[in-house]
Amino acid sequence: MARNRGLPKKYAKMGFKRGWTAYKKARRTPTRTRATPVKRRSKTTMARRRSYRKYTRRVKSTLMNKSFIDGVLSVGAKKVLSTFIGSNPLYDAGVDVGLGFIRKNKTLMGQGISNGLLSFIPIGNSNGGSVR
């Protein structure tokens, strides 16, 4: 019984290392290769890194913030309305409610509604006072 030892002559000419790799490659059955390599999960889990993106900077303004601008607009609109139509607490309340609705300022709207409701209640002398 004869045993076949070593590389065949065809592969032995290539040299030891190159010959063996070529021989093994030729003898191997073709297998499918995966397009993406399988990722191995590590046993230890790392803590998530903190992201600072959710905190945005706000522009700090000293005088020109929304409440100040709304107050100036409200007083100006009341002055203009009183020169053309005349002074009436209901008109003033209507200006506050309308301006608060347009500018999306709930405080100004609440102030206008309260002034409008309180104009019907006589406080002190009975001329229909408003909260000012």
Q: How far is CA 125 from CA 35, 44, 122, 130, in A?
A: 90, 80, 7, 12
Structural domain includes residue 15: no
Upper half-sphere CA count for residue 125 (Cβ side, 13 Å): 1
pLDDT digits 0-9 by tens, 13-59: 888 899 989 998 888 876 666 667 777 777 777 787 877 776 666 66
Domain annotation covers residue 23: no
118 residue type, one letter: L
Q: What is the DSSP code (8-state) at residue 85?
A: T
Number of domains in the chain: 1
Domain assignment present for 127: no
User: Rounded distance, CA 114 to CA 121, Å?
Assistant: 11
Question: Does residue 72 sit within a domain?
Answer: yes
Rounded to 5 degrees, φ, ψ at 81 are -65, -40
Task: Tell me the pLDDT tens digit for each residue of 90-129.
Answer: 888 888 888 888 888 888 888 888 888 887 777 666 555 5
Under the banding of pLDDT at 50, 70 and 90, the label for residue 1 is very low
Percent residues over pLDDT 70 in the chain: 77
Structure pTM?
A: 0.43
The domain in which residue 83 lies consists of 67-118
